Structure 1
Amino acid sequence: MSAQQKHVYDIQELPPDRRMLCGRQHRRGLYAVAQAAIWSFNLYFVVRLTLCFSSPNPSWRIWATLLVEAVLAHMSRHDQRLTVAAGDGAGEQPRQRLRLQGTQDLPRVDVLVPCCGEPVEVIVDTVRAACTMEYPRSRLRVRVLDDGASAALEAAVAALRPQWPHLFYHTRGKQSGKVFAKAGNLNYALSTLQAQDEVQPDFCAVFDADSIPMPDFLRATLPHLLRNPQTALLTTRQYFLNLPAGDPLSQSRLHFYACENAELDVGGRARDAGSGALFRRAVILEAGGYPTYSFSEDWQLSLVLQGLGHPTIQIQEPLQYGLVPTSLDGHIAQRSRWHIGHSQQIRALFPPTSHSLPRPLQWSIAWNGTSILARSLGCLLAFALVPLLLASGGALIPVASPVLVQTQLLLAVLHVALTWAYGCLQSAHTGFQTSPFAHVENTWLAGAQLHAVLRFHLFASRPKGSFVTGSSANAWNRSSAPSALQQLCHNLWHNGIAYSVLLLLATLGAVAFSIWSTLTATDSDPLLRLLTTVAWPPMLHILYLAVISYWAPVSYLLNPPRYPDRKAGLALSPSGVAFPTREIQEGVQPQGKPSVGFYRHCILATLVLVVLLGAGLML
């Protein structure tokens, strides 16, 4: 038994915040609707599949339509299954807000700040905040791990050391552009630097170079690991200083943190997907350190730990504030690099990785990466098929008899209604921080991401852009400022917005053509033809998803967002350390009430489904 397990720590339990209260208020309803949505789709899909097989005149349209429905419904079902697996919350309390009290005999902690080419002033702000966290300095050490071998950064750290002697600078030499540099950098600290110490730290915290930790970070995170000796890693939700108004590119990743990872957290399966992780050093070393077979080393570490039986958790408190890429190039480069990392998960099946992991875990890791890529490919193909299906002019479902059409329509309305109900409750569950169907955020990037994956594996063994960050502030991504016309052409062709524009116009054009051809046809019942083509309830739902997905980059093109200046979001403390302003900190709190647009969308969806159901009964 380790020293920290023998010691009884003074841990204070704080009242729940708004995030916990929102989740507790809607949990049972969300769970019930998730179960109903899953079973309704199962019934709907079985009936549709049976009728497709038994159709006397099957066509490619009915099979392609069913495929598109299945692919896009799978994304909602992914969230619904996570909700069901997490339970209804009856008899359970949400993860508590805890604070570690006292100053005596606390665990030793190393704070690791890996960096490579980021601006020195950005790194120094992070370092200052890390050095001044509310924790005994005799039990805290901050290590700057510089893979850029920056003389300016080394000098800046040296200038800070007289004030904070628990701060240290380390470098392996210039590693920029080398594969797995960040994982290797962290492993260097865990295995080489710390092994040279007389006493090794009990825990390690990792911050990205641009993520400023709040003073109570360690006081808020350590209690969760101290209370649960089996838990190996804690990840914190990321918050940002420079999000533009409305977050048009969904750079905050609210859906991932507040919906997906929050549900995984209930079962101890949260994924570390960024800065602000705290872990037990001994357990990570036993697991082989950070995996080096993928660029997404933090995500892979979570999967390895879970596969070896170590729970991983997430807390939602705002304990760190970072930066999002401030250009479309940076955003795409960042997301593409993540997808390349997922594509590399197949390497878990091959040496040398396969020598250190159990075979079932290897397959689990490979499947996780493959399924993520498959979802991107599925969305790309599904949305591209929609205008083709509508422009083809034929029925999208079997129409052997009015009774069979009515049966399918009834089940389709039920399936779509429950999908919308789940999406709305999921939004309420997060305090209305996300919109319904936020899981389709950035699906318009699927083509660029898959192109990056193919380019990496077939033509160039490095992602386009930087290995370090997607931020345009990174030294490896800087270029001369283009003119407005050059930027427009660049965004249209290089960043793939032209594809989004064309697909959006093709989709809207196909809808108009389908309606026109239905109203002008004289060889069939217009109502039946309308309900089995463009007004088919799942097709209307898919059209809604396609429009909101592909409108995002078009909106960016027409009205580029203004990213707040990093310094404008920071305020100096009395000790001269930069922390997020009060406005930034208050802005990340959930308001607990939906926007006007939320109600309008829900009312419109309800009216459309009621009208379609009534029209179906008239057949």
Structure 2
Amino acid sequence: MNGHRDPRYYSPEEEELTTLNGYHGVQNPPTSPSNFDFEFHDIPSPRPVVPFRPGHTQSPGPGNRNSPPEYGSPGWLHPNRTSDVPETWMNSPYESRSTSPTLYQNTPVQQSLQSLVAPLVNTPGSPGYAKEWVQAGSASIARINDRDDADIWKGWKRWVFFFTPFLTFANTSIYLFYLGLRIYCIIMAQREADVTYAGAWVFVAIEIAVAIPSLMHNCWTMLALKKRGRPKLRLTGNDCPTVDVFVTCCGEEDELVLDTVRGALNQDYPSDRFRVIVLDDGKSAILEDMINQLKPAHSNAFYMAREKIPGKPHHFKAGNLNYGLDEVHKLPGGAGEFMAALDADMIPEQDWLRAVVPHLLVDPKMALACPPQLFYNTPASDPLAQSLDFFVHVIEPIKDALGVAWCTGSGYVVRRVALDEIGNFPLGSLAEDVATSTLMLGKGWKTAYIHEPLQFGTVPEDYGGHLKQRTRWAIGTVDTAFKLKFCIWGDAVRRMTIAQRFSGFLYATLSLYTLLLTASLFAIPIILLWGKQLVAYANDTELHWLIWACFAATLSNRLCEFALFIPAGYNTGQRGSRYQLWMSPYIALCIVRSFMLPKWLGGQTQAFKPTGSLGSALNERDPKTRKNILVRLRVILFNFMALFHFAFVYVTLVAVVISSYRCFYVAHGFKDVVKCLITHAFWPPLTFLFICTSLWTPVSYAIDPPSMPEREDLLARDPKTGVAHPTTKSKKIAFGGQAAWFELQYTVSTVATILIFVYSFFW
């Protein structure tokens, strides 16, 4: 997953996009490592990574990139290494160690890994990171806690979350029983009345369609039974491995990028062991001057901008990163052993490198380690579900436990040798991060998810930017899945485990599933206006069983949601459920355009693009400069196609009113009216209400957008160094009125389900 990036990275006007037939790599010079094509031909043997060499100022050209390393003097060099590392160290990386760091290089394969195995200390570290740990001498690794997320959530929450797999299994079983009972009762009702209940069949089909994503997620969630045991580690001492930190940007505000660069330079990591390299695809002369002004105080700061020839594919962010991977060989000392990447807006915490790097050091097969993407400008209630809290706090830890952690797009640290083996970052993908980690897993490498708050960035501050970001992710995931054959077969995924293949298949399928979900949404107002009975049954006994089964499924689902959402927060999880509904039409539309429509009918691989000309930005979150409500409604309803959401809600509510009127008009007696209402429009848990409130999100956002302060007001800036970090308050999502409204709606539907259940005993 990627943070907020400039749209120009992905603009089809800026460069040619690839087709479904495969990725098209650029033709690299003979010395370039970027020889990966996405038809997965054999890749040349990886080039050894040259460590930084003290006193070496000549640019290592093609003839000397693989020159033997020179050690013996201080500067940009790897720590001293020997080849007598006990094999047990590799098999038990988290045990205590007491010797100096060594290089495990007994065989050519092991030598190519060039992994620094650092010792773990027996004495427990302080609760948090402390600068006094940085001492002269050999590096070591302190084990701070048995869990890397020990400071994020703990206590009773962990005990409740432990039961999530069992609750999920129970909920899934009950719901499948309920669906089976629904189908059985329709069949029995048709035999009894000798008619076809078309409305009931359509309604149960919609229920199944809406339930499929939840059922698929339930299958994945049940795997949380496998305990995740990634510890919280810190690299101590000043004899650390070398790291090239890339900050990628393309037209973002210069001050935004500079804050990220300052945060990266301010790492509590030996300054002669890492470099911060700005890879600017926007070629900002102002930004270049800003970086040059930092060099007197930070000699490890560099600025690079590649030449982008019009008409020649530039391959988005992956092309920019690959350019940096090649160019660092020309810097004094050559390339670092590890490469790290930060998005332009992602400000790293001071202990970022010391927290992530050790997870790569203790395991020579660990190719990539990444922390979550967190944000400091998320508005109260997070109306568009822009925070990734559910994904980063629930889904990613489960995936990590099963050995299938995804690269999150920013803040990650990767082993250069592993990148060499897959031919550097894959070209031609809108989701180069997902493709990179997947290809590494397919080669037998490991990936790790570090569940610590180590970086904070910004979410898109406008509705259009949010749509473009999320549809780009969806298209990139599906595109990568097609080219990797959904991680089911092929040379690229040959060494994947069953869990890793299932994960790749699941998340690509969920994106494609938005097509079916969107189609089912169209059917809801139609069947309500149709006036047909939605729930068919042969007698009152069957109706009783249907209500009881529905009650059990609803309550078990509520309980399961509460337990599952605990790491991210209950309201965050509910926002995610609503987000899947209202975003489905946008994602489905982009998938149709990208993978189904021919070019002559408007098909092209791109994220959501608004219709017409917007004229000017809405500035909807700035209370001083935001456009008035009429302009906001016009742009979001028409240019951003939320008119579908608006029409759906109103047609559905009108259909509910008409259906209810028919019940009062046709039925006789209180009991018959209640039965009619339940089986025609108000079947628990009032699904239409949840769908309507979810799809109303774009309209409510246009009417009453959240107000946000200036970015500077969300930061605590050091007046001397200019280094800024988000304030404690800005890192948290405030509970706002919209969250309260949705909780009220959820409570009403739950109470209605209970009342219908109780009343069923009285007829």
TM-score above 0.5:
yes
- Are 2:755 and 1:611 equivalent residues in the alignment? yes
SS in 2 for 1:204: strand
Equivalence for 1:214: 349
- Are 2:703 and 1:558 equivalent residues in the alignment? yes
1:192-251 deviation line (CA, Å, top 9, x unaligned)? 534877553222211101111111111122222333443322222222232222211111
Higher-Rg member (1/2):
2
Equivalence for 1:231: 366
| 1:27 to partner: Cα distance | 1.6
- Are 2:703 and 1:577 equivalent residues in the alignment? no
Of 520, 525, 539, 2:665 maps to 520
Checking the alignment, whether the CA contact within 8 Å between 1:129 and 1:577 is kept in structure 2 is no
Checking the alignment, whether the CA contact within 8 Å between 2:143 and 2:233 is kept in structure 1 is yes
Please, which moves more after superposition, 38-47 or 300-309? Answer: 300-309
Equivalence for 2:118: 7
| 1:164 to partner: Cα distance | 1.0
Of 654, 659, 681, 1:534 maps to 681
Equivalence for 2:468: 333
**Structure 1 residues 356 and 455, CA gap change in structure 2 (3 angstroms):** same
1:437-495 deviation line (CA, Å, top 9, x unaligned)? 623315313222333344455334544669xxxxx99xxxxxx9967644431111011
Structure 1: runs of 5+ lacking an equivalent:
467-471, 474-479
Q: Which amino acid aligns with 1:102?
A: G
**Structure 1 residues 611 and 273, CA gap change in structure 2 (3 angstroms):** same
Checking the alignment, whether the CA contact within 8 Å between 2:226 and 2:402 is kept in structure 1 is no
Q: Which amino acid aligns with 1:122?
A: L
Checking the alignment, whether the CA contact within 8 Å between 1:236 and 1:316 is kept in structure 2 is yes
Checking the alignment, whether the CA contact within 8 Å between 2:206 and 2:520 is kept in structure 1 is yes
In the aligned structure 2, how far is the partner of 1:496 from the partner of 1:465? Answer: 10
Equivalence for 1:264: 399
| 1:21 to partner: Cα distance | 4.1
SS in 1 for 2:384: coil
Of 549, 567, 571, 2:712 maps to 567
In the aligned structure 1, how far is the partner of 2:335 from the partner of 2:555? Answer: 56
- Are 2:507 and 1:373 equivalent residues in the alignment? no
| 1:335 to partner: Cα distance | 1.6
Counting matched residue pairs gives 595
**Aligned ranges for residues 450-469 of structure 1 at < 5 Å?**
450-456=588-594, 458=599, 459=602, 460-463=604-607
Please, which moves more after superposition, 187-196 or 605-614? Answer: 187-196
Equivalence for 1:102: 237
1:233-285 deviation line (CA, Å, top 9, x unaligned)? 22222222322222111111222222222322221222223321222221122
| 1:617 to partner: Cα distance | 3.4
**Structure 1 residues 128 and 22, CA gap change in structure 2 (3 angstroms):** farther
Checking the alignment, whether the CA contact within 8 Å between 1:13 and 1:99 is kept in structure 2 is yes
1:535-585 deviation line (CA, Å, top 9, x unaligned)? 3225x1x22431331132122111122233111112222542332343446
- Structure with higher helix content: 1
Q: Percent identity?
A: 28
In the aligned structure 2, how far is the partner of 1:176 from the partner of 1:239? Answer: 35
| 1:156 to partner: Cα distance | 2.1
Checking the alignment, whether the CA contact within 8 Å between 1:147 and 1:181 is kept in structure 2 is no
Q: Which amino acid aligns with 2:452?
A: E
Checking the alignment, whether the CA contact within 8 Å between 1:265 and 1:313 is kept in structure 2 is yes
Q: Which amino acid aligns with 2:639?
A: H
Checking the alignment, whether the CA contact within 8 Å between 1:345 and 1:365 is kept in structure 2 is no
In the aligned structure 2, how far is the partner of 1:267 from the partner of 1:391? Answer: 47
In the aligned structure 2, how far is the partner of 1:432 from the partner of 1:109? Answer: 38
1:560-613 deviation line (CA, Å, top 9, x unaligned)? 22233111112222542332343446636x99xxx8778756654443222222
Please, which moves more after superposition, 131-140 or 14-23? Answer: 14-23
**Structure 1 residues 204 and 504, CA gap change in structure 2 (3 angstroms):** same
SS in 2 for 1:137: coil
**Structure 1 residues 433 and 337, CA gap change in structure 2 (3 angstroms):** same
| 1:182 to partner: Cα distance | 0.4
Q: Which amino acid aligns with 2:386?
A: Q
In the aligned structure 2, how far is the partner of 1:310 from the partner of 1:569? Answer: 39
Equivalence for 1:124: 258
1:31-80 deviation line (CA, Å, top 9, x unaligned)? 22111011112222233334445543333322221221112222322332
In the aligned structure 1, how far is the partner of 2:400 from the partner of 2:668? Answer: 56
SS in 2 for 1:124: helix
Q: Which amino acid aligns with 2:652?
A: T
**Structure 1 residues 18 and 404, CA gap change in structure 2 (3 angstroms):** same
Equivalence for 1:295: 430
Equivalence for 2:224: 86
In the aligned structure 1, how far is the partner of 2:163 from the partner of 2:749? Answer: 19
In the aligned structure 2, how far is the partner of 1:554 from the partner of 1:587? Answer: 25
Checking the alignment, whether the CA contact within 8 Å between 1:265 and 1:314 is kept in structure 2 is yes
In the aligned structure 2, how far is the partner of 1:581 from the partner of 1:461? Answer: 36
Checking the alignment, whether the CA contact within 8 Å between 1:61 and 1:389 is kept in structure 2 is yes
**Structure 1 residues 454 and 88, CA gap change in structure 2 (3 angstroms):** closer
SS in 1 for 2:247: strand
Equivalence for 1:38: 172
- Are 2:451 and 1:320 equivalent residues in the alignment? no
| 1:181 to partner: Cα distance | 1.5
Checking the alignment, whether the CA contact within 8 Å between 2:475 and 2:591 is kept in structure 1 is yes
In the aligned structure 2, how far is the partner of 1:596 from the partner of 1:522? Answer: 36
| 1:408 to partner: Cα distance | 2.4
- Are 2:390 and 1:390 equivalent residues in the alignment? no
**Structure 1 residues 229 and 52, CA gap change in structure 2 (3 angstroms):** farther
**Aligned ranges for residues 119-518 of structure 1 at < 5 Å?**
119-174=253-308, 178=313, 180-191=315-326, 193-194=328-329, 198-345=333-480, 347-348=482-483, 357-358=492-493, 367-368=505-506, 370-432=508-570, 434-436=572-574, 438-441=576-579, 443-456=581-594, 458=599, 459=602, 460-463=604-607, 485-518=630-663
In the aligned structure 1, how far is the partner of 2:259 from the partner of 2:462? Answer: 22
1:276-309 deviation line (CA, Å, top 9, x unaligned)? 1222221122123222242011122232233333
Checking the alignment, whether the CA contact within 8 Å between 2:329 and 2:335 is kept in structure 1 is yes
1:368-395 deviation line (CA, Å, top 9, x unaligned)? 5651332322332222222222222222
| 1:111 to partner: Cα distance | 0.6
| 1:107 to partner: Cα distance | 1.5
- Are 2:202 and 1:64 equivalent residues in the alignment? yes
Q: Which amino acid aligns with 1:516?
A: Y
Q: Which amino acid aligns with 1:11?
A: A
| 1:127 to partner: Cα distance | 0.9
In the aligned structure 2, how far is the partner of 1:384 from the partner of 1:315? Answer: 41
Checking the alignment, whether the CA contact within 8 Å between 2:165 and 2:222 is kept in structure 1 is yes
Q: Which amino acid aligns with 1:291?
A: P
Q: Which amino acid aligns with 1:386?
A: I
SS in 2 for 1:113: strand
In the aligned structure 2, how far is the partner of 1:87 from the partner of 1:544? Answer: 33
